[in-house]
Structure 1
Amino acid sequence: MRIPFTKMHGLGNDFVVLDARAQALPPINGDIAAALADRHTGIGCDQLVLIEPSGNADLKMRIFNHDGGEVEACGNAARAVGLLVGGELTIETLGGTIMARPDAAGIAVDMGEPRFDWDAIPLAYAMDTRAMPVGWDMLESPVAVNVGNPHAIFFVEDLSAVPLGQIGPVIEKDPIFPQGINVNVAQILSRDAIRLRVWERGAGLTRACGTGACSTAVGAMRRGLVDRKVTVSLPGGDLVIAWDEDTPERKGRITMTGPATIAYTGSFDWGAYA
C-alpha cells in the first residue's frame, strides 16, 4: 500500500504531512512516526503531521515528534497545514482548537490563550511561573507558559554563550516537569524584537518553533520587557507574535504570523515502516 505525503517546512522546521481525510490510513503509532522521521532510513523530518476529519472543527491535526512521541500543538505545523489546505480553517489539536488564515506575510494562526497556572504547565508542585525559583548552571528563573504545550523561557544577555545542545536535554527531563518541557533561551534586542533558540521536547535543537516563539513573546510581555507585538528571530527566520489585550473579542489571544513552504510531494510503501 503506497501512501502519499507532502514534505513541508516552516522556517526550516520540517514536516512530513499525511492527509487522512479523503482516504483513511492504517493506525499510526510512535514507532511508525519515528521510522518515517528518521533522516537516514525514513523520509526525514522534525515532526510527522497527520490531518484527520474532525467533528468539532474543519479538520484535526495530530503531531508526532522525531522520537515518536505525540505532542499537543505545533505552531509551525499549523501554518503548514493552513497553507496546504487553504482558506480560513479551524484546526482541532490535543492542545485545543486553533484557527489559521492566509495573510500577506504567509499564514496567520490564532493560537488561543496562554496558560500560566503551575498545574496547567504542568509543574511538579506550585510555584510562581513568572519567575520560577529554580536554575540550571547559567540558566535560572525561567518563565513557564503553556501554549498548547509546555515551555520554559530563560532570558539571557548573550544567546550565543549558552550551550543549549548540552543543557537543553537536562532541563527537558528534569522531574520538576512531569510531562517534559520545551526549553527556550531568548535575548531581548529591543521593545519589539527578540532573538530565540529552542531545544524542543522530543526533537532537540530546532531551526524554528512556533509555540516557542509565542511562549517566549508572552513571557517577555508578562515581565514588561517588550511591547504587545514583537518579531521573534529564530535560526530559520522570523515570526511576528501579537498578544491582544485591548480588543474585547480578541482579549488574551495570541496571533502568530509567518511563512510556510511546500518542499515536495511523494509516496512511500506503508509495509516498509509498519
Structure 2
Amino acid sequence: MKFEKYQGIGNDFIILEKDITKEEVRLLCDRHYGIGADGIIVNSKKNGLPYMHFYNQDGSIATMCGNGIRCYASYLESKGEDFSKIDTLSGIKHIKKVGDKFRVDMGEPTVDFTDKPLLENINFDAVFTGCHHLLIYDDEKKYGKDFLNENSHELEEDNKLFPNGTNVNLVRVKDRKNIEIMTHERGVGITLACGTGASASAYMSYKKGLVDNIVNVKLLGGELEIEISEDNKIYMTGPAKFVYKGEI
C-alpha cells in the first residue's frame, strides 16, 4: 500500500489512493506500530470533484478537517490536479493558493449555544464549523492539558447534545489580533493543531466583541490566520507541508 504523509502546523495525515477498514486506519495511525498520524485522508471523486474522505485516528469518520483539507489540496497540487473545489461530508470547500499557503473558505458557521453550563461552574459555547466544537474561555489559565484529558471524553460523548460527538477547545484571548487555543479532538486526543477548532474559536471571539475580524490563532504546532468576512463566512489560511512517502 503506497502512501504519502503531510502535515499542517503539526496536525499530520496519511493520504491514500484507496479506502481501508477501520482496523487498518487504527493500525496505520498508531505511532508505535504503524506510520503514525492524527488521521487518514482517502483521495476519492464525487460528481467530478476531488472528495476528501477523512478518518480520525480511532477509525471514526469526520465530516471536515481544516488542516487536513489544506494538506489534501497540497497533495492534489503535487499531482497536477485542480484543488480549487474539494467536496467533503460538510459540503464543497473553495480553496486558493496564497503565496506558499492555502486559503480555505470554511463557509458560514452555526452557533449551537452560548454560555451553557456543562460542567460545574464552567460555561461553554458550541459552534459548528464543519465539525462540532465546544469552547471554554480560559483567559485566567485555570485549565490545561490535564483538564482536557480528564473531561473531554465525557463532553465529547454527550449523545443528547451531540449525537455524533464533538471536539473540546480551551480559548485564551491575548489581544484583539491574537488568540491561543488547545484542542482535544474526538477520536484523537490533544493535537498540535485543529483548523476547524481555530475557526470556531476565532469566530466566537469575534462575535463576543473580543477580537477584530482578522485574527492570528496560535496553536501548539504553529499559527493560522482566520478571517471573518462581512457576509459571516470564515476564511482559514495556513501552510501544508509534504513530509515523506513510502509503501507499507
Per the TM alignment, residue 35 of structure 1 is displaced from its structure 2 partner at its CA by 1.6
- Alpha-carbon distance in structure 2 between the residues aligned to 1:224 and 1:200: 26
Q: Is the 8 A contact 1:109 1:256 kept in 2?
A: yes
Per the TM alignment, residue 88 of structure 1 is displaced from its structure 2 partner at its CA by 4.6
Per the TM alignment, residue 105 of structure 1 is displaced from its structure 2 partner at its CA by 5.2
Per the TM alignment, residue 84 of structure 1 is displaced from its structure 2 partner at its CA by 1.6
Amino acid at match of 2:134: A
- Alpha-carbon distance in structure 2 between the residues aligned to 1:6 and 1:180: 28
What residue in structure 2 maps to residue 122 of structure 1? none
- Alpha-carbon distance in structure 1 between the residues aligned to 2:192 and 2:239: 14
- Alpha-carbon distance in structure 1 between the residues aligned to 2:165 and 2:57: 15
Q: Indicate yes or no: 2:24 matched with 1:32.
A: yes
What residue in structure 1 maps to residue 242 of structure 2? 262
Q: Indicate yes or no: 2:138 matched with 1:156.
A: yes
Q: What are the Cα deviations for residues 160-207 of structure 1, in whole angstroms up to 9, with x where unaligned? A: 633222222222123432221100110000011101000001100000
Q: Is the 8 A contact 1:34 1:66 kept in 2?
A: yes
Per the TM alignment, residue 130 of structure 1 is displaced from its structure 2 partner at its CA by 2.5
Of 66-75 and 40-49, the range deviating more from structure 2: 40-49
What residue in structure 1 maps to residue 216 of structure 2? 231
Q: 1:108 aligns with which of 91, 96, 103?
A: 103
Q: Is the 8 A contact 1:169 1:199 kept in 2?
A: no
Q: Indicate yes or no: 2:136 matched with 1:145.
A: no
Return closer, same or farther for 1:196/1:265 CA change in 2, 3 Å cut-off: same
- Alpha-carbon distance in structure 1 between the residues aligned to 2:100 and 2:152: 31
Q: Which has the higher strand share?
A: 2
Amino acid at match of 1:240: E
What residue in structure 1 maps to residue 196 of structure 2? 211
Return closer, same or farther for 1:5/1:151 CA change in 2, 3 Å cut-off: same
Q: What are the Cα deviations for residues 113-164 of structure 1, in whole angstroms up to 9, with x where unaligned? A: 1112x4xxxxxxxxxx1322x13246x2211111111001111123463322
Q: 2:172 aligns with which of 184, 187, 208?
A: 187
Per the TM alignment, residue 4 of structure 1 is displaced from its structure 2 partner at its CA by 1.4
Of 191-200 and 81-90, the range deviating more from structure 2: 81-90
- Length, aligned pairs only: 241
Amino acid at match of 1:135: L
Q: 1:72 aligns with which of 53, 63, 74?
A: 63
Unmatched tracts of structure 2, length 5 or more: none
Per the TM alignment, residue 212 of structure 1 is displaced from its structure 2 partner at its CA by 0.3
- Alpha-carbon distance in structure 2 between the residues aligned to 1:82 and 1:160: 38
What residue in structure 1 maps to residue 156 of structure 2? 172
What residue in structure 2 maps to residue 97 of structure 1? 92
- Alpha-carbon distance in structure 1 between the residues aligned to 2:6 and 2:142: 28
Amino acid at match of 2:9: L
User: How high is the sequence identity, in percent, across the aligned residues?
Assistant: 34
Per the TM alignment, residue 252 of structure 1 is displaced from its structure 2 partner at its CA by 2.0
Amino acid at match of 2:95: A
- Alpha-carbon distance in structure 1 between the residues aligned to 2:100 and 2:178: 17
How do residues 8-87 of structure 1 correspond to structure 2 at under 5 angstroms? 8-18=6-16, 20=17, 25=18, 27-55=19-47, 57=49, 59-86=50-77
The DSSP-based 3-state class of the residue aligned with 1:39 is coil
What residue in structure 2 maps to residue 271 of structure 1? none
TM superposition score normalised by structure 2: 0.92
Q: What are the Cα deviations for residues 66-110 of structure 1, in whole angstroms up to 9, with x where unaligned? A: 100011000000110111212652111011111222112511111
